[in-house]
Chains A and B, each alone.
Chain A
Amino acid sequence: MDLVLQQTINGVTIGAIYALVALGYTMVYGIIRLINFAHGAVFMWGAYAGMFILTMLGGSKSVIGLAPLLILLFIGPMMLCAIFGFAMDRIVYIRLRHRGAGALVPLIAALGISLVLEISAMLTWGKEFRVYPKFLQLSYFTWGRAVLSNMQIILIVVCLVMMVCLHLFVTYTRTGKAMRATSLDHDAARLVGVDVDRIITLTFVIGSALAAVAGVLVGMYYGSVNFRMGYVAGLKAFSAAVLGGVGNIPGAMIGGFILGLIEAFGAGYIGGEWKDLIAFVILIGVIVFKPTGLLGERVAERA
Chain B
Amino acid sequence: MSEDKGGGKVRKSTNRIIVSGRALLIVLCCALLAVPAGAPSANAASGPPIKIGVSLPLTGDNAATGQKALNGARLAVNQVNAKGGILGRQMQVVEGDDQCDPKQSSNVAQKFASERVIALASHYCSGAALAALPIIRESQMLYIDIAAVSSKLPAAGYDRYFTVMYNGGQPGQFTARLMKEKLGVKTVVVLDDKTPANTEFVDGFVATAQAQGGPQVIFRDHIAQGDKDFSAFVTKLKGSNAHAIYAVCYYPECGLLIRQMREQNLKIVFAGTDSLLDPAYVKIAGEDSAEGSLIITQPGADELPTAKQFVADYKKSFPGSEPGNVGAYSYDAVWVIAKAYTAVGKVDNGAAAKWLHGLTRADAIQGATGKLFWQPNGTITEFFFSTYRVHNGDFQFAKDLVMK
Contacts and interface: CB of A to CB of B under 8 A. Distances in A.
B253 to A, nearest CB: 11
B135 interface: no
**What range describes how many residues of B lie at the interface?**
20 to 34
Given A127-B61, A273-B224, A275-B232, A145 B238 contact: yes
A223 B233 contact: no
Contacts of B256: 222-224
A271 B223 CA distance: 9
B264 A147 contact: yes
B232 A129 contact: no
A174 B403 CA distance: 74
Contacts of A271: 221-222
Contacts of B265: 140, 142, 145, 147
B232 A149 contact: no
A224 B232 CA distance: 19
B51 interface: no
A192 to B, nearest CB: 45
Interface in A103-158: 127-129, 131, 134, 138, 140, 142, 145, 147, 149
Contacts of A228: 226
B238 A6 contact: yes
Contacts of A232: 226-227
A241 B252 CA distance: 28
A276 B225 CA distance: 13
Contacts of B255: 224
B127 to A, nearest CB: 18
Interface stretch (B3-11, B161-169, B202-210, B279-287): B279-287
Nearest to A9: B231
A29 B191 CA distance: 39
A134 B235 CA distance: 24
Contacts of A269: 236
Contact of B236 (A11, A13, A267): A267
B60 interface: yes
Nearest to A236: B229
Given A272-B223, A273-B222, A276-B224, A128 B233 contact: no
Interface in B267-319: 280, 283-284, 286
A165 interface: no
A272 B235 contact: no
Interface in B211-260: 221-224, 226-233, 235-236, 238-239, 252, 255-256, 259
B263 interface: yes
A263 B222 contact: no
A3 B235 contact: yes
Interface in B43-65: 59-61
12 contacts: A3-B235, A10-B232, A127-B60, A128-B61, A128-B280, A142-B265, A223-B259, A224-B255, A232-B226, A268-B233, A268-B236, A271-B221
Given A222-B256, A264-B235, 12 more contacts: A6-B235, A10-B235, A128-B61, A134-B286, A140-B265, A142-B265, A147-B263, A222-B259, A224-B252, A224-B284, A232-B227, A272-B222
**What are the 8 closest A-B residue pairs judged by CB atoms, nearest first?**
A267-B232, A10-B231, A273-B222, A268-B232, A264-B232, A6-B235, A3-B239, A272-B221
Interface of B: 59-61, 191, 194, 221-224, 226-233, 235-236, 238-239, 252, 255-256, 259, 263-265, 280, 283-284, 286
